[in-house]
Each structure stands twice: as structure tokens, then as C-alpha cells.
Chain A
Amino acid sequence: MTEFELWLKQATRHLSKDSAAQVRSEIVEHYESARETALSRGATPDEADRQAVTDLGAAKAANRQYRKVLLTSAEARLLRQTKWETRAVCSRPWLKRLVLSMPAVALLGAAVFYFAGSIAIAKGLLADGLAMALIFAAPFLPIYTPSRSRIYRIVRCIAIFGAFGFVFGKSSWLLFSCLYPLAYIEWVRYSIRSKLPVSEWPKQLYL
């Protein structure tokens, strides 16, 4: 493996397949221009290669910068999974109906338990129903601008924390650690949003 190939390998580490291909193409383009310039100034091919790689700087530093602006493999995977989940639900009418009926069933259950005198269960079902309604109804709401998306996410966050507090009372802070996977996914989605131009956001990135 040449010094330049090693540089490319380090600079594209942890980047998604598409991002890595993009980096490779632009850096190869740059490297060839730098090499041609060095050769035209009388350098030997070896010297030109070395000079072109030296001018690129540290591959690890470039990789750190690239990971801030291009999709990493983990982010690309999450984006693919979300797309797949949306397609899986939307392409099956029975699954779509089932998902949409869940909040209604929870709210109906809350009313039944309330009138039966089981207030604690009714409270839990009410909170679940409202949180589920907010999450499952999202694809049908007119959320197609970044500002609406931000408002929706804030409301959803308040609703989730509120539902936890409402159902579990004072001990709910102990259960917040269970929300770690949700927080991680939100963080990754935030990073994806900052890397993709708004015109390229898929619908699920608004939610």
C-alpha cells in the first residue's frame, strides 16, 4: 500500500460508503493536480508523490474534520433503518391501521379503568395514549419545514418526560436512564440534520 493509499484509508475511516467515495474522488483529484505541479517544477516522481501527500497534512486531522461534515457509517445506517421502518409501516395498510389504533385503544382503556375505579392504571394508559398519539400521528401532521420540525420535537420531548413524571411520580428520575437509546438516536439524527442540506432531508428527519 502506497503512502497516499494509506492516507486515504485513514481519512475515510468510519465514513459511510457514499461519503468515503466522495472523499476519495476529491482527494485523488487534488493529489493528481499537486503531483503534476511538482513534476512540472522538475521534481522526480517519488519526490512529487511525497510532496503531494505532505501537503495534504495529517490524515487523522482530515478524518476528524470529514466526520463533522459528512455522514458516518453509523448515521447512514440509522437513516437506512428509519427509511425501512417508514416504508414497512406505510406499505402495509393493516399495519398502518394497527399502529394508528393503538393510541385510541390506550385512551379507551384509560376511560374504562377510570370508571372501574382503577385510577393508577387509568393514569398510566392516559399518559401512554397521549404520548403514542403524538408520536404515531406525526407523519400525518404538516411538518415539512425545519422550524415546525423543531417545535414538534420540543413538544414530543416535553410529552415524553411529562408522561414519565405523570406515571411514575417522584421516582421517575430513576427511569430516565431507560431513555438512553432514545437520546442516542435523537443525537445521531441531530448530527445528520446538521450535515444534510434541508432540501435533501427525508420526511422522517423532520420528526
Chain B
Amino acid sequence: MNFKGALPPLILEALEQEPSHGYRIAQRIKERSQGVLDFKEGTLYPALHKLENDGLVASYEEVEKGRPRRYYRITKSGRGMLAKDRTEWRKLSSAVTMILGEA
């Protein structure tokens, strides 16, 4: 399913519970959407860099199984942005449901 523009809030949601690395973030989004949101993983990192430039996530390096991995964690402003995105999404979703009807 094409969900252009929805990737940043999904990344923030995936990081809300605990810091994670890129591969795990991608798997978490796919698993939680039960495979419906099947995006190309090469576009995940540019989205992560954008979030980092905007100060919504921060990254750090950690050694896992003997090799360094870049981990990402959500920042305070990232949590604020996620809360805002959730509210907007609920409004949009209920408006579209009103027009198209319940599934």
C-alpha cells in the first residue's frame, strides 16, 4: 500500500517505546500493520535523517554482536510531534470514514 508522507509518524511511533536501529524499525512497521504497509526499506534511512535534522530523533552508536550499529531514539520534540500527528490522523480518519462509511 502506498503511504507516502506517513512514514515519519510511523517511525516516531516505532521509536516511542524504546530506541531501535533501522532494520528493526522497518520490521516493526511491517509487523504492526500485518504486512499491509510494505514499503521499500531503502527509503527508511532518508526519512530517519530528515527526522534527525529536524531534531525529532537523535542517533548514537552501539555495539551489537561485535559490530557497531546506529541506534535512533525519539526526542522530546519528537514525542510532541507524534502526539500532534496522532490527533490530526484521528480527525482525518473519522472525517473520511463519515464520507466513505465504515468498512
Binding site for B on A (CB under 8 A): 7, 11, 23, 25-27, 29-30, 33-34, 55-59, 61-62, 65-66, 68-70, 194-197
Q: Are B70 and A29 in contact (CB under 8 A)?
A: yes
When distances are taken between beta carbons in the complex, the residues of chain A under 8 Å from B47 are: 65
Given contacts A11-B42, A23-B45, A197-B55, 18 further A-B contacts (CB under 8 A): A25-B70, A26-B70, A27-B45, A29-B67, A29-B69, A33-B23, A34-B23, A55-B40, A55-B41, A56-B40, A57-B41, A59-B42, A65-B43, A65-B46, A65-B47, A69-B50, A69-B53, A194-B53
CA distance A70 to B48 in the complex (A): 11
Q: Are B40 and A57 in contact (CB under 8 A)?
A: yes
Within 8 A of A (CB), among B35-87: 39-43, 45-47, 49-50, 52-53, 55, 67, 69-70
DSSP class of A's interface residues: helix, strand, loop or mixed?
Answer: helix
When distances are taken between beta carbons in the complex, the residues of chain B under 8 Å from A30 are: 22-23, 26, 41, 45
DSSP class of B's interface residues: helix, strand, loop or mixed?
Answer: helix
Check: B28 CB closer than 8 A to any chain A CB.
Answer: no
User: Could you say which interface size class chain B belongs to?
Assistant: 20 to 34
Interface centre among A7, A33, A59 (most CB of B within 10 A): A33
Among A56, A68, A70, which residue has its beta carbon within 8 angstroms of that of B42?
A56
Binding site for A on B (CB under 8 A): 21-23, 26, 39-43, 45-47, 49-50, 52-53, 55, 67, 69-70
Q: Are B42 and A58 in contact (CB under 8 A)?
A: yes
CA distance A23 to B52 in the complex (A): 14
A-B contact pairs, 30 of them (CB 8 A): A23-B45, A25-B70, A29-B21, A29-B67, A30-B23, A30-B26, A30-B41, A30-B45, A33-B21, A33-B23, A34-B23, A55-B40, A56-B40, A56-B41, A57-B40, A57-B43, A59-B42, A61-B40, A61-B42, A62-B42, A62-B45, A65-B46, A65-B47, A66-B45, A66-B46, A66-B49, A69-B46, A194-B53, A196-B53, A197-B53
Specify the chain A residue showing the minimal Cβ separation from B44.
A30
CA distance A59 to B43 in the complex (A): 9
CA distance A7 to B42 in the complex (A): 10
CA distance A118 to B60 in the complex (A): 65
When distances are taken between beta carbons in the complex, the residues of chain A under 8 Å from B39 are: 57
Among B22, B43, B52, B55, which residue has its beta carbon within 8 angstroms of that of A62?
B43
A57 touching B23 in the complex, CB below 8 Å, given contacts A29-B70, A69-B49, A70-B49: no
